[in-house]
Amino acid sequence: MFYFPAMAESDVLRAPHVIEYTYTRSTGPVIGAFLTGLRDGKILGATTPAGRVVVPPTEYDPITSEEVGELVEVGQSGVVRTWSWAAHPLKDQPLDRPFAWALVLLDGADTAMLHVVDAAGPEAMSSGMRVTARWRPAGERIGHMKDIECFVAEGAS
Which of 25, 139, 155, 157: binder of other proteins (CB under 8 A)? 25
Q: Which is nearer to other proteins, 35 or 133 (CB)?
A: 35
Which of 42, 134, 146, 152: binder of other proteins (CB under 8 A)? 146
Instruction: Give the footprint of other proteins on residues 78-107 (CB under 8 A).
Output: 81-87, 90-94, 101-103, 105
How many other C-beta atoms can be found within 10 angstroms of the C-beta atom of residue 16? Answer: 4
Of the candidate spans 2-10, 69-77, 129-137, the one that interacts with other proteins by CB under 8 A turns out to be: 2-10
Beta-sheet strands, E only, within 74-157: 77-86, 99-106, 113-117, 130-135, 148-153
- How far is 81 from 142, CA to CA, in rounded Å? 28
- How far is residue 114 CA from its own chain's centroid? 4
Residue 46 near other proteins by CB under 8 A: no
Which of 19, 97, 137, 139: binder of other proteins (CB under 8 A)? 19
Which of 17, 97, 139, 157: binder of other proteins (CB under 8 A)? 17
- How far is 39 from 144, CA to CA, in rounded Å? 7
Asked if residues 43 and 55 have their Cβ atoms less than 8 Å apart, the reply is: yes
Q: Which is nearer to other proteins, 91 or 157 (CB)?
A: 91
